[in-house]
C-alpha cells in the first residue's frame, strides 16, 4: 500500500491542478470587489472544450497538431518526479531535476514551433517573447536548484524535498527564504502571470502565452490549458515543498490535504499579487530576472559556506 | 496684396457672400501664414459649388486670441499640397482628394481616407524596404468590444518602425444625409456620429442650427447642456482611466473605474432616461428639465461616485509599477503637437493650453469658466493625468451649476434657417474639439454640412507617438488617445 | 589494423583517380563516394572491436627510406571512441555529397573536391590513430590543408576566399604552436610514441609545464574553435559545401578536443588552472557564441556558431573534469568527462544532420537566409523533419541525443556542489549557469530558426521547392536514425565511455561503467516513455475528433483577409528583443527607421545593428601596434626577388656556420 501512495498523490495532482486557476481568479475577484467565476471554472472549460470539434488553419502542419498532446506529455512526465509533501515522488533518480527542467524546455520547444507553424504575427510575437524570457527564467531555476541541492546535500528533487524532509532549513533559514522567493518569481514568469504576462488580457499585442494559443481550438486548447495548470502545480510544488510543515507528520490524507493547502496558498498569493501590481514593461522582465539570479547566487554562496 | 480671411465667432454666422474667395495659391498662403502665426486648421473641406468647380473652405483658429478665421477658394484639378509645409493638413487634403478628386500635388502620402479606392488610387501601406522587418496587421476585428479599424505596424522585433491606420469601416455617409433638408432623424444621426460623444455632437449640431436660425437659448437649458456635457466627459474619462490601468494589468483601478463609468452614465440617465444622453439636447434647448429632488439626488450621487473615483484613480498615481508603465511611454513633444494640430486631452498633455471651453467659450462656459488642465510631459502618464484633472474640474463645475441653477424654461420653438449662410460651431467634447460647419443654400436647407471629430485631428498623433516604441505598448498608447473610429469615418 | 590500412589506401587511391576524372564528374563522384563509404565501413570493424572490447591494437612500421619516419598507429579506446563518429559521419557525408555535388554547375572542380574530401577523411582517420609526433603533425597538416581546399571550393566568391585565408592562417598559427610543443617534447629525448611516454615535464618543472600546456591548449584550441580561438570557424564552415561543413563541424573540430585530452593523458591532471581556463573558455563559447548566432542571416553561419557553443559545452565538461581530478573529485571527474565525451559523440551526428538539412534546404529553395525562406516544411518533408530533429537535439529536448551528454555534465556539477570545501563550488556553479544559459539560448535560437525556415507561409514566391536529391535524403534519414538510436543507446555507450575516460585519467576503473549506465538508463527510459505517451496522446486526440466537425480556415489575423507572408515574424525580428537585452555584447544601436520629426513614410534610414566585434577590435588593435613597431624594418622589404634570395642564402649560410662552429 505504501508504494501506491505516490501514485495516489499523482492522481491528486492531476485532478486538483486546474483548481488553482479557480483559486487565483476568485482571489482576484475578491480584490476587485466582484464575485468571480466558480472555483471549478477551468474544469468546466476543459470539459466543454473536449466536447468540441476543431478548426485548423491551412497554413499549419504537423507541429500545430503535435504540440498540444506532446506538450502535455512532457509536463505529465515532469510531474512524475515531483514529491508531494511528506511522500516521495513516483519516480526519482540522481539528477532528475535536470530532466524536469529540460522537460519543461521541451514543452516550450513544441509550443514555440506550433506558434510559428501558424504563420501569424501574433503567434510569432508570443513565441519570440517566450523564447526571450525563458532564457533567463531557466537559468534562475537552475541556480535555485543548485542552492537547494547544496542545502539538502542531494542531487535529486526527491532528496531535496522529501528525503531532506525539512532538514534543509537547518542550514540557514533566512537564506533559504530568499531561495523560496526566487522560486516564486520563477513560478510567476514560467506560468505567465502578472507582472510578466497578463493572463486576462484580450489584446493580442500584449500577450505571451495566450498569443501562442490563438489558433488552437477544441481539444487542443483543452490540452493547452490542462498542461498550463499542471505546470503551475509543478512549479508551485518547489516552494511549497520547501515550505511544507514536515514536522506535523501527517497521515496520508492529512498530507495530501496539507500539500494541496500549501499550493492553494501559493495560488492565492499569486492572485493577491496580481491584484496589486501592474505588469512590467517587456524590457524590464530580463532585468527583474537577472536580479532574481543575483539573489539566488548570493543565497547559493551563503548556503555553501 | 496679402489676402486675409474673414473672422467669425464660435457659432456665429456669416453670409456666404462675405467669405473671402481667393485664388487657391492665396488660400494656401493664408493657411500657411495663419499656422505659422500660431493658428491651427480647424476644418478644411471641399464643397461642390456652383458652375461645377470645387470650393475649398478653410477654418483656422488662433487659440491664444480666440480668433476664428475663414477663407475659401475655387479649385479645379489640383493645387500644391499644403502637407509638406503643414502636416496637420494631411488628412484634410486626402479627404478632399477622395471626395472631389482634387489632387494636392506633392502630398507625401496621398491615398483615400475611407474608401478602398478613391480618385483612382488604391489604398496601400507603406512597407519598410527591408526583408528583416515584419508587419503586424491588427484589425479590423479587434479583441474586446471596440470598433473596426485596421492598423499596420512595420516592426523589427518589438520595435515599431512605423504605424499606419486604415479606417473607413464605419463610414455611413452622415454628412451627405444632412444635405438639402434637415431630415427628421438628423439629431439621431448627430447623436451617433460617435456613440460615446452623443452629447458633444448633438450640442455642436444644435448650436449650428440655432445660429443659423438666430435663436437664443434659455439660461436653464444652457446650464443643463453644460451639466450633460461634463457628465459625458466624466463617464468617458473615468472609463478611460480604468481601461488604461487594465491595459497595464492593474486590476483595482480597472475594475472600480469600470463600475464608476456606469455610475456617471446613470447620472445622465437620471437627466433624460438615456445613459448616453440621447434626446436630451434638441434644437432650442433641452428636452428634459430637473426638479429640485433630482438636483439633490444628482448631487448626492455625484459626490459618492466622485469620492470612489478619487480613491480608485488615486491608486494609479502612487503605484510605482503603474507609473513605470505610464511614464515615458508614447511621448509627443509640444512641437510635434503643434505641427500635427492635435486637440483635446492629447494636446493638453503636451503642455499646450487648447480648450474650446476656455478659448472660444460658448453657452454656459461664457459665465462659468473651467481652467484648462495641462501637463507637460506628453506621454501616457500626461494623457491619463490630464484626464484626471479634467474629471476634478468637471465635478467642480457640475457642483456649482447644481447649486445655482438659473430658473426659467428649457425649450424654445425652433426657427427656420437663414439662407446663404455659413456657421462654425465648436464644442469641447470629452475627446477634444468638435467642429461642425454648416452652409445653407438659397432655400434655407443645408448645402454642405461638415463634421470634424477630434479623432480626425488626432489619429496621426497616435501613429507618431508609436514610432520607436514597443508594439507591446500599443494598446496602452491607443487607449491613452482613445480615438473614435466612427467619428473619423462619419 | 589491416582493415584500416586498406581503408586508408582505398581513400587515397580513389581520391587520386578522381583527380584524373575531372571531366567525368559523375564517375568521379560515384567512385569516390562509394570508395569512401566502403572504406569507412571497413574501418568500422576494428574500431567497433576496440570500442566494445577495449583491447588496443597498434601498427608500427619504421620506414628508414623516408628519413626514419615511424609509421606508428595505435587504436586504443580513446581513438576508437572518436573514430566511430568519424567513420559513420564520413560515410553519411560522402553519400550526401554525392547527391549535393551532382547538380553542381561548376563541374570542373568536382574531381578536385572529391580528391580533397577523401584526403580529409583519410587524414582525420589517421590523426586519431597517430601515436608518433611527426606522423600526427603530418596528418594534422594534411587535414587542415584538405579542408582548406574544400572551404575555398567556391573560390569565385570574395567572401569565400577571405574565409579560406582566415581559416588557413588560424589553422597554421595553431599548428605552429603544436610544432613548438612537439619539438620541446622530442627535445626532451622521446622520439616517437609520444602519446604513451611520460616525458611531459612534471608539476615540479613549473614554467616549462605551464608553457607546454598553454601551447597545447592554444594549438589544439585553434582547431577546436572555442573562444577566443573561434574567429575562423563561423567564416570557414558556412563557406564550405554542406557535406564538408558537416564533417568539419561534426568531427574535425573535435580533433582539437582529442588533442587536449591526449595531452592531459600524457601530462597527467594536476593543474587546476587548466580546468579553470577550459571552463571559462567553455562558458564564454557557450553563451557568447549563441548570442552571436542570433544575428546571423545565414543558416549555416548559425549552425557554425552553434558548433562553437557545443564545443563550449564539451570544454565545460572537460574543464570540470580536469578541475575535479586535480582536487580529488573522482566521481565528478568521471561524470563530467563522460558527459563531455558523450556530448561530443552525439553532437557529431546532430550537427552533421543539421548541416546536411540546412544545405539541402538552401539548395532546394535557393537561399540560406531564413528571412527569405519559410513554409517549406510541407514541400520538403525529409529535409524539414531532419532539421527539426537536429534542432530538437541541439536544443536539448530530452527526447533526443543532445540531452544525455549535457545531463551528465549537469550531474557532475551538482555532485561537485556537494563536495564542500574541495574548491569545486565555484566551477560547478559556473558550469551549471553556463550550461543552462547556453542551453536556453540554443533552444530559443533553434526553435526560432527552424520555425522561420520551415513553418508558416513562404516568404519568397519562387515556386514550390522540391527535395534536391534522393541521396541527400537517404543520408539525412540515416543520420536522423543514428540520432534517434543514440537517444536510447546512451547506456550502451557507457562501457566505451568509461574506457575513453580511463585512457585520459588512469585512475578511473571499468567498474564505474555499470554506474554510468545506471545513471543514463533513466533518461533512455524517460525518452521511450515520452515517445509512447505522445503517440498515445495523439491517437487519443484523433479519436476525440473522429466524429466531430473538423474544418479548415485561414490563420486568425483579426479578420484581415489579405494577410500575406510579410505578416509573420522574421528571424531578425524573432531574435531582436533577445539580442537587444544583451546590447553590451551584440547590438550597439538601432536607429528608428522613420524618425519622429518627419511624419510621413518614405524616408528609410535602414535599421542596422552594428556589432561591436570584441575580438576584431582587440586583434586590429594589436595588429596596428605591431605594424607601427615593425615599420622601422620596412627597408628590408625591397620587393625584388634576388634580394629575397640573398636573404635566404645569408640565413642558410649563417645556420651552417653556426652548426659547424
Q: Do A125 and B137 touch (CB under 8 A)?
A: no
What ipTM does the predicted assembly reach? 0.95
* Mean pLDDT score, A17-35: 90
Of B126, B135, B141, the CB nearest to C601: B126
Q: Do B249 and A284 touch (CB under 8 A)?
A: no
pLDDT(C79) > 70: yes
Confidence of residue C317 (pLDDT cuts 50, 70, 90): very high
The domain over range B6-113 is classified in CATH as 1.20.1260.10? no
Q: What percent of chain C has pLDDT over 90?
A: 31
Quick one: C127 and C78 in the same domain? yes
Burial C248-261 (b: 16+ CB within 10 A, else e): bbbbbbbbbbbbbb
pLDDT value for B128: 81
* Mean pLDDT score, A206-214: 88
Q: 111-170 in A: which are within 8 Å (CB) of C?
A: 112-113, 115-122, 124-125, 127-129, 131-132, 134-136, 138-139, 141-143, 145-146, 149-150, 153, 155
For the residues of C397-450, what is the DSSP string, one character each? -TTSTTHHHHHHHHHHHHHHHHSTTTT-HHHHHHHHHHHHHHHHHHHHHHHHHH
Residue C133 cell numbers, joined? 609526433
Which chains contact B through at least 3 pairs of Cβ atoms less than 8 Å apart? A, C
Handedness of CA B396, B402, B405, B409 (dihedral sign): positive
Q: Do B157 and C573 touch (CB under 8 A)?
A: yes
pLDDT value for C198: 57
* Mean pLDDT score, C191-214: 68
Quick one: C149 and C293 in the same domain? no
In a domain, C559, yes or no: no
CB of A291 less than 8 A from some CB of C: no
The 10s digit of each residue's pLDDT in B68-125 is: 889 988 888 888 888 888 888 888 988 888 888 888 888 888 888 887 766 666 777 8
The chain-wide mean pLDDT, for chain B, equals 87
- To the nearest whole Å, the CA of A264 is away from the closest chain B CA by 21
In a domain, C10, yes or no: yes
* CATH, domain B174-457, list 3.30.1330.60, 1.10.260.40, 1.10.645.10, 3.50.50.60: 1.10.645.10
Least Cα distance to A105 among C436, C350, C532, C386 occurs for C436
Of B131, B155, B460, the CB nearest to C371: B131
Distance CA C362, CA C245 (A): 13
Residue in A with minimal Cα distance to B322: A278
CB of B334 less than 8 A from some CB of C: no
Q: How many CB atoms lie within 10 A of CB B400?
A: 11
Is the distance from CB of A126 to CB of A212 less than 8 angstroms? yes
Least Cα distance to C553 among A211, A120, B137, A206 occurs for A120
pLDDT(B187) > 80: yes
Is the distance from CB of C409 to CB of C335 less than 8 angstroms? yes
pLDDT value for B120: 65
Distance CA C465, CA C369 (A): 15
Distance CA B139, CA B125 (A): 14
Residue A110 cell numbers, joined? 513544441
The 10s digit of each residue's pLDDT in C211-237 is: 888 888 999 999 998 888 888 888 888
Q: Do C597 and B139 touch (CB under 8 A)?
A: no
CB of C594 less than 8 A from some CB of B: yes
E strands of B116-207, at which residues? 117-118, 121-122, 134-138, 150-156, 159-166
Q: Do A98 and C378 touch (CB under 8 A)?
A: no
Quick one: C359 and C374 in the same domain? yes
pLDDT value for C312: 94
Higher pLDDT, B284 or A182: A182
Q: What is the DSSP letter of C237?
A: H
Q: Do A99 and C407 touch (CB under 8 A)?
A: yes
pLDDT(B381) > 90: yes
In a domain, C468, yes or no: yes
Is the distance from CB of A77 to CB of A104 less than 8 angstroms? no
Of C417, C440, C569, the CB nearest to A125: C569
E strands of chain A, at which residues? 54-57
Q: Do C596 and B83 touch (CB under 8 A)?
A: no
Angle among Cα C183, C252, C393 to the nearest 5 degrees reads 140
Q: For residue C266, what are the CA distances in angstroms to C33, C192, C194, C209, C216?
A: 37, 13, 8, 12, 12
- The lowest-confidence range among B28-32, C236-240, C247-251, C265-269 is C265-269
Burial (CB < 10 A; 0-12, 13-18, 19+), residue C532, is exposed
pLDDT value for C584: 62
Is the distance from CB of C336 to CB of C222 less than 8 angstroms? no
Of C429, C437, C439, the CB nearest to A146: C429
pLDDT(C297) > 70: yes
pLDDT value for C476: 92
Quick one: C436 and C327 in the same domain? yes
Q: Do A150 and C418 touch (CB under 8 A)?
A: yes
Quick one: C491 and C585 in the same domain? yes
CB of B196 less than 8 A from some CB of A: no
Quick one: C411 and C532 in the same domain? yes
Q: What residues have CB less than 8 Å from C38, skipping those under 6 apart?
A: C10
Q: Do A96 and C522 touch (CB under 8 A)?
A: yes
Quick one: C258 and C285 in the same domain? no
What residues of chain B lie within 8 A of the CB of C457, using their CB?
none
Q: 456-475 in C: which are within 8 Å (CB) of B?
A: 459
CB of B475 less than 8 A from some CB of A: yes
Residues of chain B with CATH 1.10.645.10: 174-457
Residues of chain B with CATH 3.30.460.80: 6-113
pLDDT value for A198: 86
Q: Do B136 and A125 touch (CB under 8 A)?
A: yes
Q: Do C602 and B126 touch (CB under 8 A)?
A: yes
* Mean pLDDT score, C419-431: 86
Quick one: C153 and C140 in the same domain? yes
In a domain, C605, yes or no: no
Handedness of CA C280, C286, C291, C293 (dihedral sign): positive
- To the nearest whole Å, the CA of C591 is away from the closest chain A CA by 17
Distance CA B63, CA B10 (A): 12
Quick one: C295 and C195 in the same domain? no
Of A129, A204, A278, the CB nearest to B143: A204
Q: What residues have CB less than 8 Å from C96, skipping those under 6 apart?
A: C242, C243, C246, C356, C359, C471, C472, C475, C476
What residues of chain B lie within 8 A of the CB of A280, using their CB?
321, 324-325
CB of C444 less than 8 A from some CB of B: no
pLDDT value for A113: 92
In a domain, C243, yes or no: yes
pLDDT value for C588: 46
The 10s digit of each residue's pLDDT in C150-166 is: 888 887 888 888 889 99
Q: For residue B463, what are the CA distances in angstroms to B460, B477, B478, C4, C557?
A: 5, 10, 9, 70, 21
CB of B32 less than 8 A from some CB of C: no
pLDDT value for C615: 62
Confidence of residue C200 (pLDDT cuts 50, 70, 90): low
pLDDT value for C597: 53
Q: Do C433 and A155 touch (CB under 8 A)?
A: no
Quick one: C222 and C352 in the same domain? no
CB of B127 less than 8 A from some CB of A: no
pLDDT value for A180: 92
Quick one: C103 and C10 in the same domain? yes
The 10s digit of each residue's pLDDT in C96-105 is: 988 888 776 6
Residue in C with minimal Cα distance to B464: C596
What residues of chain B lie within 8 A of the CB of C607, using their CB?
128, 130, 132-133, 156, 161
Q: Do C540 and A69 touch (CB under 8 A)?
A: yes
Confidence of residue C86 (pLDDT cuts 50, 70, 90): very high
What residues of chain A lie within 8 A of the CB of B135, using their CB?
121
Is the distance from CB of C241 to CB of C97 less than 8 angstroms? yes
In a domain, C237, yes or no: yes
pLDDT(C511) > 70: no
Q: What residues have CB less than 8 Å from B425, skipping those under 6 apart?
A: B10, B11, B204, B205, B207, B208, B211, B435, B436, B437, B438
CB of C297 less than 8 A from some CB of B: yes
Which chains contact A through at least 3 pairs of Cβ atoms less than 8 Å apart? B, C
E strands of C492-565, at which residues? 550-553
Of A31, A205, A278, the CB nearest to B474: A205
The 10s digit of each residue's pLDDT in C340-394 is: 999 999 999 999 999 999 999 888 888 888 888 888 888 888 999 999 999 999 9
> For residue C633, what are the domain limits?
614-660
Q: How many structural domains are present in chain C?
A: 3
CB of A62 less than 8 A from some CB of C: yes
The chain-wide mean pLDDT, for chain C, equals 84
Residues in chain C, overall count = 661
pLDDT(B1) > 50: no
pLDDT value for C563: 75
Distance CA C195, CA B9 (A): 101
The 10s digit of each residue's pLDDT in A220-266 is: 999 999 999 999 999 999 999 888 888 777 788 888 888 899 999 99
What residues of chain B lie within 8 A of the CB of C596, using their CB?
336, 464, 467-468
Q: Do C573 and A56 touch (CB under 8 A)?
A: no
What residues of chain B lie within 8 A of the CB of A124, using their CB?
134
CA atoms within 13 A on the CB side of B63: 22
Residue in B with minimal Cα distance to A36: B255
Distance CA C113, CA B289 (A): 96
Quick one: C256 and C386 in the same domain? no
CB of B471 less than 8 A from some CB of A: yes
CB of A1 less than 8 A from some CB of B: no
Amino acid at each position: 500500500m505504501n508504494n501506491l501512495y505516490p501514485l495516489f498523490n499523482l492522481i491528486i495532482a492531476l485532478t486538483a491542478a486546474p483548481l488553482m486557476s479557480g483559486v487565483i481568479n476568485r482571489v482576484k475577484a475578491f480584490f476587485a470587489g466582484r464575485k468571480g467565476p466558480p472555483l471549478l471554472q477551468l474544469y468546466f472549460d476543459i470539459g466543454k472544450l473536449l466536447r468540441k470539434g476543431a478548426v485548423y488553419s491551412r497554413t499549419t502542419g504537423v507541429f500545430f497538431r503535435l504540440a498540444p498532446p506532446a506538450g502535455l506529455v512532457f509536463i505529465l512526465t515532469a510531474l512524475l518526479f515531483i514529491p508531494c509533501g511528506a511522500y516521495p515522488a513516483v519516480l526519482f533518480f540522481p539528477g532528475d531535476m535536470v530532466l524536469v527542467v529540460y522537460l519543461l524546455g521541451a514543452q516550450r520547444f513544441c509550443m514555440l514551433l506550433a506558434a510559428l507553424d501558424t504563420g501569424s504575427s501574433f503567434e510569432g510575437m508570443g513565441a519570440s517573447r517566450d523564447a526571450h524570457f525563458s532564457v533567463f527564467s531557466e537559468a534562475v531555476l537552475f541556480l535555485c536548484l543548485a542552492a537547494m541541492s547544496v542545502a539538502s546535500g542531494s542531487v535529486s528533487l526527491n532528496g531535496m524535498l522529501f528525503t531532506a524532509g525539512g532538514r534543509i532549513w537547518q542550514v540557514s533559514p533566512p537564506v533559504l527564504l530568499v531561495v523560496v522567493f526566487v522560486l516564486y518569481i520563477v513560478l510567476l514568469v514560467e506560468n505567465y502571470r502578472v507582472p510578466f504576462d497578463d493572463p486576462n488580457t484580450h489584446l493580442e499585442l500584449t500577450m505571451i502565452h495566450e498569443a501562442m494559443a490563438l489558433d488552437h481550438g477544441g481539444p487542443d486548447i483543452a490540452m493547452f490549458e490542462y498542461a498550463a495548470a499542471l505546470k503551475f502545480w509543478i512549479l508551485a510544488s518547489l516552494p511549497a515543498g520547501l515550505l511544507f510543515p514536515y514536522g506535523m507528520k501527517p497521515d496520508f490524507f492529512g498530507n495530501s490535504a496539507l500539500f494541496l493547502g500549501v499550493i492553494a496558498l501559493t495560488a492565492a498569493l499569486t492572485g493577491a499579487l496580481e491584484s496589486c501590481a501592474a505588469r512590467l514593461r517587456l524590457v524590464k522582465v530580463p532585468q527583474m530576472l537577472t536580479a532574481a539570479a543575483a539573489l539566488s547566487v548570493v543565497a547559493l554562496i551563503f548556503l555553501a559556506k | 496684396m496679402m489676402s486675409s480671411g474673414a473672422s467669425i465667432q464660435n457659432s456665429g454666422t456669416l453670409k456666404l457672400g462675405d467669405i473671402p474667395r481667393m485664388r487657391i495659391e492665396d488660400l494656401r498662403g493664408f493657411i500657411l501664414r495663419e499656422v505659422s502665426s500660431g493658428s491651427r486648421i480647424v476644418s478644411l473641406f471641399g464643397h461642390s459649388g456652383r458652375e461645377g468647380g470645387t470650393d475649398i473652405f478653410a477654418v483656422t483658429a488662433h487659440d491664444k486670441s480666440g480668433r476664428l478665421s475663414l477663407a475659401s477658394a475655387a479649385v479645379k484639378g489640383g493645387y500644391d499640397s499644403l502637407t509638406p509645409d503643414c502636416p496637420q493638413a494631411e488628412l484634410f487634403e486626402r479627404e478632399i482628394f477622395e471626395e472631389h478628386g482634387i489632387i494636392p500635388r506633392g502630398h507625401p502620402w496621398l491615398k483615400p481616407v475611407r474608401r478602398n479606392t478613391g480618385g483612382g488610387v488604391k489604398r496601400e501601406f507603406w512597407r519598410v524596404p527591408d526583408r528583416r522587418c515584419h508587419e503586424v496587421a491588427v484589425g479590423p476585428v479587434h479583441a474586446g468590444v471596440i470598433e473596426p479599424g485596421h492598423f499596420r505596424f512595420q516592426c523589427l522585433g518589438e520595435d515599431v518602425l512605423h504605424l499606419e491606420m486604415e479606417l473607413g469601416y464605419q463610414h455611413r455617409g452622415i454628412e451627405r444625409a444632412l444635405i438639402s433638408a434637415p431630415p427628421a432623424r438628423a439629431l439621431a444621426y448627430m447623436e451617433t456620429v460617435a456613440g460615446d460623444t452623443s452629447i458633444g455632437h448633438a450640442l455642436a449640431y444644435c448650436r449650428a442650427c440655432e445660429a443659423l436660425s438666430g435663436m437664443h437659448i434659455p439660461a436653464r437649458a444652457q446650464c443643463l447642456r453644460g451639466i450633460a456635457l461634463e457628465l459625458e466627459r466624466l463617464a468617458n474619462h473615468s472609463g478611460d482611466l480604468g481601461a488604461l490601468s487594465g491595459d497595464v494589468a492593474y486590476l483595482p483601478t480597472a475594475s472600480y473605474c469600470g463600475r464608476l463609468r456606469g455610475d456617471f452614465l446613470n447620472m445622465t440617465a437620471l437627466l433624460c432616461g438615456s445613459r448616453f444622453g440621447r434626446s436630451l439636447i434638441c434644437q432650442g434647448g433641452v428636452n428634459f428639465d430637473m426638479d429640485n429632488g433630482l438636483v439633490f439626488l444628482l448631487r448626492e450621487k455625484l459626490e459618492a461616485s466622485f469620492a470612489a473615483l478619487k480613491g480608485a484613480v488615486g491608486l494609479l498615481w502612487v503605484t510605482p509599477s503603474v507609473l513605470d508603465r505610464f511614464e515615458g511611454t508614447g511621448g509627443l513633444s509640444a512641437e510635434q503637437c503643434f505641427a500635427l494640430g492635435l486637440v483635446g486631452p492629447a494636446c493638453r498633455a503636451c503642455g499646450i493650453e487648447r480648450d474650446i471651453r476656455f478659448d472660444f467659450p460658448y453657452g454656459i462656459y461664457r459665465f462659468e469658466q473651467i481652467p484648462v488642465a495641462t501637463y507637460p510631459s506628453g506621454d501616457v502618464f500626461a494623457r491619463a493625468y490630464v484626464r484626471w484633472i479634467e474629471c476634478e474640474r468637471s465635478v467642480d463645475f457640475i457642483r456649482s451649476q447644481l447649486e445655482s441653477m438659473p430658473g426659467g424654461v428649457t425649450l424654445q420653438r425652433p426657427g427656420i434657417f437663414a439662407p446663404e449662410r455659413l456657421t462654425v460651431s465648436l464644442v469641447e467634447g470629452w475627446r477634444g474639439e468638435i467642429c461642425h460647419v454648416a452652409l445653407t443654400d438659397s432655400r434655407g436647407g443645408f448645402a454642405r454640412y461638415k463634421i470634424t471629430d477630434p479623432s480626425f485631428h488626432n489619429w496621426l498623433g497616435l501613429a507618431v507617438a508609436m514610432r520607436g516604441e514597443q508594439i507591446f505598448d500599443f494598446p496602452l498608447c491607443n487607449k491613452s488617445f482613445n480615438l473614435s473610429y466612427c467619428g473619423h469615418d462619419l | 589494423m589491416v582493415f584500416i590500412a586498406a581503408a586508408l589506401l582505398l581513400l587515397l587511391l580513389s581520391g587520386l583517380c578522381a583527380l584524373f576524372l575531372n571531366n567525368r564528374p559523375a564517375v568521379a563522384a560515384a567512385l569516390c563516394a562509394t570508395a569512401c563509404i566502403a572504406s569507412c565501413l571497413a574501418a568500422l570493424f576494428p574500431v567497433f572491436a576496440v570500442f566494445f572490447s577495449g583491447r588496443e591494437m597498434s601498427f608500427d612500421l619504421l620506414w628508414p627510406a623516408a628519413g626514419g619516419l615511424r609509421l606508428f598507429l595505435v587504436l586504443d579506446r580513446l581513438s576508437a571512441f572518436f573514430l566511430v563518429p568519424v567513420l559513420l559521419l564520413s560515410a553519411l557525408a560522402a553519400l550526401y555529397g554525392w547527391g549535393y555535388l551532382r547538380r553542381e554547375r561548376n563541374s570542373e572542380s568536382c574531381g578536385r573536391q572529391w580528391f580533397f574530401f577523401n584526403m580529409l577523411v583519410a587524414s582525420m582517420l589517421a590523426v586519431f590513430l597517430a601515436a608518433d609526433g611527426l606522423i600526427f603533425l603530418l596528418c594534422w597538416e594534411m587535414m587542415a590543408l584538405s579542408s582548406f581546399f574544400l572551404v575555398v571550393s567556391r573560390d569565385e566568391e570574395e567572401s569565400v576566399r577571405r574565409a579560406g585565408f582566415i581559416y588557413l592562417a588560424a589553422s597554421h598559427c595553431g599548428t605552429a604552436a603544436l610544432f613548438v610543443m612537439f619539438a620541446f617534447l622530442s627535445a626532451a629525448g622521446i622520439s616517437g610514441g609520444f602519446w604513451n611516454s611520460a616525458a611531459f615535464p612534471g608539476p615540479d618543472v613549473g614554467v616549462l609545464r605551464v608553457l607546454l600546456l598553454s601551447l597545447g591548449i592554444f594549438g589544439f584550441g585553434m582547431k577546436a574553435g572555442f573562444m577566443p580561438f573561434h574567429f575562423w570557424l563561423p567564416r570557414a564552415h558556412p563557406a564550405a559545401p554542406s557535406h564538408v561543413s558537416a564533417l568539419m563541424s561534426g568531427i574535425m573540430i573535435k580533433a582539437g578536443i582529442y588533442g587536449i585530452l591526449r595531452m592531459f593523458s600524457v601530462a597527467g591532471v594536476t593543474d587546476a588552472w587548466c580546468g579553470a581556463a577550459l571552463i571559462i573558455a567553455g562558458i564564454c563559447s557557450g553563451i557568447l557564441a549563441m548570442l552571436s548566432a542570433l544575428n546571423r542571416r545565414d543558416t549555416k553561419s548559425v549552425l557554425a556558431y552553434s558548433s562553437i557553443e557545443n564545443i563550449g559545452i564539451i570544454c565545460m565538461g572537460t574543464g570540470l573534469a580536469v578541475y575535479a581530478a586535480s582536487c580529488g573529485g573522482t566521481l565528478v571527474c568521471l561524470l563530467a568527462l563522460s558527459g563531455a565525451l558523450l556530448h561530443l559523440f552525439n553532437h557529431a551526428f546532430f550537427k552533421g544532420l543539421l548541416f546536411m538539412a540546412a544545405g539541402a534546404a538552401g539548395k532546394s529553395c535557393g537561399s540560406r537566409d531564413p528571412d527569405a525562406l519559410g513554409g517549406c516544411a510541407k514541400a520538403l518533408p525529409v529535409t524539414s523533419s531532419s532539421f527539426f530533429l537536429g534542432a530538437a537535439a541541439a536544443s536539448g529536448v530530452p527526447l533526443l541525443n543532445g540531452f544525455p551528454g549535457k545531463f551528465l555534465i549537469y550531474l557532475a556539477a551538482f555532485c561537485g556542489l556537494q563536495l564542500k570545501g574541495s574548491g569545486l563550488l565555484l566551477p560547478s556553479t559556473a558550469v551549471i549557469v553556463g550550461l543552462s544559459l547556453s542551453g536556453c539560448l540554443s533552444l530559443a535560437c533553434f526553435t526560432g530558426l527552424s520555425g522561420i525556415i520551415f513553418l508558416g507561409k513562404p516568404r519568397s514566391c519562387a515556386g514550390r521547392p522540391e527535395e534536391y536529391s534522393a541521396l541527400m535524403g537517404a543520408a539525412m534519414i540515416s543520420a536522423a536514425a543514428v540520432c534517434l538510436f543514440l537517444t536510447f543507446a546512451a547506456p550502451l555507450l557507457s562501457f566505451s565511455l568509461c574506457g575513453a575516460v580511463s585512457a585520459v585519467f588512469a585512475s578511473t576503473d571499468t567498474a564505474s561503467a555499470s554506474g554510468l549506465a545506471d545513471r543514463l538508463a533513466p533518461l533512455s527510459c524517460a525518452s521511450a516513455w515520452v515517445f509512447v505517451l505522445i503517440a498515445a496522446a495523439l491517437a487519443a486526440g484523433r479519436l476525440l475528433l473522429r466524429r466531430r466537425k473538423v474544418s479548415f480556415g485561414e490563420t486568425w489575423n483579426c479578420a484581415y483577409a489579405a494577410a500575406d507572408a510579410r505578416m509573420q515574424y522574421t528571424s531578425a525580428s524573432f531574435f531582436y528583443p533577445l539580442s537587444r537585452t544583451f546590447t553590451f555584447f551584440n547590438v550597439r544601436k538601432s536607429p528608428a527607421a522613420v524618425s519622429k520629426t518627419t511624419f510621413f513614410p518614405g524616408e528609410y534610414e535602414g535599421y542596422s545593428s552594428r556589432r561591436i566585434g570584441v575580438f576584431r577590435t582587440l586583434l586590429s588593435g594589436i595588429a596596428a601596434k605591431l605594424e607601427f613597431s615593425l615599420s622601422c624594418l620596412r627597408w628590408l622589404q625591397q620587393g625584388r626577388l634576388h634580394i629575397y634570395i640573398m636573404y635566404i642564402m645569408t640565413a642558410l649560410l649563417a645556420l651552417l656556420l653556426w652548426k659547424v662552429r
